[in-house]
Structure 1
């Protein structure tokens, strides 16, 4: 709900945090044209709405968890208004920041800091003194309790776990060591993964076969990578309302689980030859406010079902094809932001006309039918229309791949294959002389190079040597 009171320096607002079941408060301490309106979070929390007299005794809440340098916790007032705060009153500012550029934070950072504050003082002190870089524990098989005890002695400040198993011993380890906040499970074949008693705030599940996931109150992010269709249930506080959900390798028919009806934020990554069904998404997550879909050449189905998401405020669609329409503005009462990158031009044109005047409209790389037919399978297609890349450079880039692919597809001669790959790299060395190839572009060239190399009889080492020895970019 939009705040109707015009904020003034010294104003104090309180907001209820459902995750923690208490109120936090913030005071307006900056209001000017250059920095905007900024509040400082206060260090008094209460189950009931606090009084002004109680908050006059407050000090600034400090952010210093993990590798952060100590600083007061500032946030833009837009972050406050999102929680429909209660105006408490006005008091002499407890802080008068003079920095021209203030670092501001979101409520997610508050949760991470509050969780950090609950950890043993000895752990926090040692972490700050040593600032460890070796932060990850790797587990490859089931182990006994003695193993975990010795592991913690070896890496007492580790806070990430990467594991190929999930069993009672690992579950117990996570419960007893609340400093472990990141968990990545890969190729885990387990009916139930229960982290409800742990301190995990981010979990990544990769190429696993899990039927049920039980999350905790701290959880902020759940990512799945690979086929997640075996998941039947996800148990999460508030049915996922405070969770950001990311689903990679998404394909229609994968959404078979129950339990996250209240998810507000969803990011989807798909792939070519896959499809993304908006109707399926809307039926599973009817209360979405933020939706991002990177199709990576997937087909988009049932775009009209977007109208079922009546709470949707922001939608981002990129690299999605096989659709030619969009919803009407009158069907989306809360939609404030639309981003369309590399989608059919017919859709982009309709959205430009229909949503003219919307708060944020970002349309890039609208694709004609001719372009889609010619370039959809080209891994360097995103150079075309990219900001800072001349059309002539993009054309030369995509042609280099197309020409090399044609030559390699019909020729298995090793020497000729090497020459073709060498010429491919030489083209980009030439491009780099006038168009500096950055890190993203270098990675894209490498991915394209690997696709080409798969058409040859060359070994992995030979392929890597050609790329590394010949490239100047």
Structure 2
């Protein structure tokens, strides 16, 4: 049976309508979750055997509702929060569970899930729980576009901290350059900020090779986030600013 792929917004719309439960859907993948009521999800899709939920610091509400589909065999939850220890899945409620992969989730929920499911490993249940995040981590990294690097296999904790520091340095330099009101030398200044950003990551990557295709794309995507932050901070529209920064990066980057 094929997997049904929908977004979190689609689920919210579907579950808010008075329609019959979708018992025909057994494999469901929900992406782009911003806020999702798991009780309503379980009520609308009562026969799920495979469920994948992912977001970008999105929230799961009433996450204990994931105990309702007794036929659930596989569960993935990635980069979603709002769950507490009391929301953990219980072996007596989902006895068919054979695989659980949880990554970038609340620390309290991760501890509870490990405690509940560790004894089940001996009976064949595969449990993989990584990147348990504290509330302090969430607060500190909510506006950090490189937060997914924390805990990534080829990126050390020290490298992550240095990368975030370089991003924040470039962001501060961009806002400062745009705040002085001078437009004549703006292209040159943004190009230089891009160069410094590129050179900083050249140095980091020489010390510990970690920038691959995904990381390269994320570093350029971080420039767009940086510009968006500056636009909101200054209340202006910054045409071509990201292109100027990227040009500076491309002039020097080795990655």
**For residues 137 and 169 of structure 2, what CA distance do their matches in structure 1 show?**
17
State whether residues 292 and 316 of structure 1, in contact with CA within 8 Å, keep that contact through their aligned partners in structure 2. yes
Preserved CA contact (<8 Å) 1:263 1:288: yes
2:104 aligns with one of 321, 332, 342: 342
Query: Which runs of no fewer than 5 residues in structure 1 stay unpaired?
Result: 1-241
1:450 pairs with 202, 224, 227, which one? 224
Cα distance in 2 for partners of 1:422, 1:405 equals: 13
- Which secondary structure does the structure 2 equivalent of 1:355 belong to? helix
Q: Distance in 2 between matches of 1:243 and 1:285?
A: 15
Q: TM-score, normalised by structure 2?
A: 0.81
Question: Is the counterpart of residue 431 in structure 1 residue 204 in structure 2?
Answer: yes
**Alignment pair present for 1:268 and 2:50:** no
Partner of 2:67: 307
1-structure distance, mates of 2:80, 2:219: 22
Out of 327-336 and 412-421, give the one that drifted further.
Answer: 412-421
Are 2:81 and 2:105, in contact at CA under 8 Å, matched by a contact in 1? yes
* Contact 2:197/2:249 (<8 A) preserved: no
Select the structure that is richer in strand: 1
Counterpart Cα distance in 1 of 2:156 and 2:191: 29
Higher relative contact order (CA 8 A, sep 6+): 2
Distance (Å, rounded) in 2 between the aligned partners of 1:321 and 1:243: 27
Alpha-carbon distance between aligned partners in 1 of 2:20 and 2:40, rounded to the nearest angstrom: 13
Gaps of 5+ in 2: 181-185, 232-237
How many residue pairs were aligned? 230
Moved more, 400-409 or 296-305: 400-409
| Structure 1 counterpart of 2:183 | none
Q: SS of the counterpart of 1:363? A: strand
Q: 2:9 aligns with which of 241, 244, 250?
A: 250
Correspondences of 1:364-375 after superposition (within 5 Å): 364-375=130-141
Deviation at 1:463, TM superposition (A): 4.2
Q: Which has the higher helix share?
A: 2
Q: How does 1:73-472 map to 2 (within 5 A)?
A: 242-248=1-7, 250=9, 253-255=12-14, 256=17, 260-270=22-32, 274-325=34-85, 326-356=88-118, 357-358=120-121, 359-409=125-175, 411-412=177-178, 414=186, 415-436=188-209, 437-454=211-228, 455=230, 457=238, 459=240, 461-472=243-254
Deviation at 1:250, TM superposition (A): 3.4
Give 3-state SS (helix, strand or coil) of 2:25's partner.
Answer: coil
Moved more, 284-293 or 247-256: 247-256
Structure 1 residue 253: Cα displacement: 2.5
